[in-house]
Chains A and B, each alone.
Chain A
């Protein structure tokens, strides 16, 4: 059974002409008609020869570093930009979800904005009227509809925009990092909406930096690097490839200390680490101290435990734990104590530590930062050896 292709991108390239100087005046373009140096601009290749087929019902992730061209690709899909070469075929109605609240007018009331924004999404007045109550209820803004939008908090505006946008009926939905905004409650709503989309079989193209979201929702993904598609594969593969991108020495990081075992730009670095077995609680305690050379916005601290064979057993980070340390200023120190159940098999284990900033630039990645030796009375052939209670009743 061949699946229907929902979006087909064929040989798409996009070049932007960047003028050397601003020549947006008639005089210049008039003069340029006669001068030999008429074409004084740099050509920036935002995308080169992109080929991609997205099947109907797929939840397709597009990931890449800032400036890799993924937003340009999204805008070409949405029909906002014209490709310089190649073309895009879309089967059915495509709704872009590039930014929430586009076209919101601060001087209008919430109610008026619903109709205006609804029109931009293609809803007629009567259609909006029939779902007006639902939209307002979902956004939880019943009391505020007759107030001007400028009196709304940003969170309220986002809620209203999302509530409206999630009504749009489309065959293909483009989503660009809308999750980056809103509080935890709002994010839950977004995720619930995504789950529902997945169930109803809407084709979704999802551009994000959030690899956890990619792993959780996407069926497939593509990694864009340097204006080209670097890889297409399963969500897991691509998420891993993406993370690896940041392990390479950063070209702009002056203080990058690239070695076999430790790298990162060094803005925020681990100073000390200890991993020891606490007998009383039978837990492993990993105690780390990090020092900030420069300010880092909302760093994420993580660890990974590997066994003697180098197999990763498990790990987590402060983002997954939803515990942010907030922005760290230059010269500040931060201590973290991780406590995990002592479930290891016999052998030498290593602790790998990492700090990334909020856009996943690695500050410090430290393999084998600490080692600990586990001794058991009996050897287990398995990766883990947790305490297992047994109750046996024989009558």
Chain B
């Protein structure tokens, strides 16, 4: 209890600031647009429709996997979240340069705020996914208990990348272009629109599934939709190996946090 109070006192300012910043961000995001918040639902749905027509209808991806359209939609929704947190996070510190030069406040709040407002969007999008699941009569298994943990892992991963990128962007303005390309490549390197079992080579599969995003997406599909979503565990057993993606996330967190912390002191002069 004492510890909790001490923590609450220490982070009181950050929490107040975070609340207001998330609120502002959310209010401003679709201000002046007719459809408003619906855009955060419409955008992934539109992307889904395009990919569905191209890959499922024309190219016949995912035959033999039950609920493949929802399977794909879930992947897109999760990827959209990752892309949003990292893209918005990347520019967040530089965008708030004016504030940074005039006020001393915990810098991480800015990145955190963009991540939380993306999290709200993710929540809305997952709501859409669950509506589709209901319509398709997907039956839930006990594996569903993993969902919150996987979402937390996703959040931490996206946040770690965003912190690293935002601090780097202050010094290296190339980062925005680099990240744009990397993100596009990573979209195809992650089994989002194709099922992983269509990758013929065993080592290529290993390489693909070492990517924490692939691990998270596959595990979530596995937990929510169908055991036909092949996970890391399925291919490489339940041994220590399967902790590698989580280890990568942990490593990223350590690197990103220490780099951000070291650079944050100088944001005001460098931004």
Contacts and interface: CB of A to CB of B under 8 A. Distances in A.
Nearest to A115: B20
Contact of B174 (A27, A80, A112, A123): A27
B33 interface: no
A254 interface: no
Give the one of B13, B27, B100, B102 with max A CB within 10 A: B102
Interface string B4-18: 000000001100110
Interface string A179-214: 000000000000000000000000000000000000
A107 interface: yes
B102 A112 contact: no
B28 A123 contact: no
A120 B103 contact: yes
A42 to B, nearest CB: 15
A120 B103 CA distance: 8
B173 interface: yes
Nearest to B24: A116
A105 interface: yes
Contacts of A105: 24, 28
Contacts of B27: 108, 112
A191 to B, nearest CB: 23
Interface stretch (B50-58, B82-90, B225-233, B262-270): B262-270
Interface string B101-126: 11111000000000000000000000
A96 interface: yes
A82 B268 CA distance: 9
A80 B102 contact: yes
A203 B21 CA distance: 30
Contacts of B248: none
A315 interface: no
Contacts of A138: none
Give the one of A16, A81, A82, A119 with max B CB within 10 A: A119
B172 A24 contact: yes
Interface string A87-120: 0000000001011001101011000100110111
A80 B96 CA distance: 14
Given A108-B24, A108-B27, A98 B16 contact: no
B99 A102 contact: yes
Given A24-B173, A79-B104, A112-B24, A103 B13 contact: no
B28 A107 contact: yes
Interface string B145-175: 0000000000000000000000000011111
A99 B98 CA distance: 11
Nearest to A124: B16
A26 interface: yes
Given A119-B17, A120-B105, A16 B24 contact: no
A99 B101 CA distance: 10
Contacts, number: 74
Interface in B1-44: 12-13, 16-17, 19-21, 23-24, 27-28, 31
Contacts of B19: 119, 125
Contacts of A80: 100-104, 268
A87 to B, nearest CB: 13
A115 B265 CA distance: 26
A81 B20 contact: no
A78 B99 CA distance: 13
Given A107-B28, A122-B13, A99 B174 contact: no
A103 B17 CA distance: 11
Contacts of A37: none
B170 to A, nearest CB: 9
B242 to A, nearest CB: 35
Contacts of A96: 102-104
A349 B174 CA distance: 70
A208 B180 CA distance: 46
A141 B265 CA distance: 37
Contact of A25 (B31, B98, B173, B265): B173
Interface in A62-82: 75, 78-82
Contacts of A272: none
B270 to A, nearest CB: 9
Give the one of A29, A80, A112 with max B CB within 10 A: A80
B20 A116 contact: yes
Interface in A158-175: none
Contacts of A29: 171-172
A26 B179 CA distance: 13
Ranked nearest first, the 6 interchain pairs of A and B with the lowest CB-CB distance are A119-B20, A79-B104, A102-B102, A26-B174, A80-B268, A82-B265
Interface of A: 16, 24-27, 29, 75, 78-82, 96, 98-99, 102-103, 105, 107-108, 112, 115-116, 118-120, 122-125
9 contacts: A80-B100, A80-B268, A81-B268, A98-B103, A99-B102, A103-B99, A108-B27, A115-B20, A122-B12
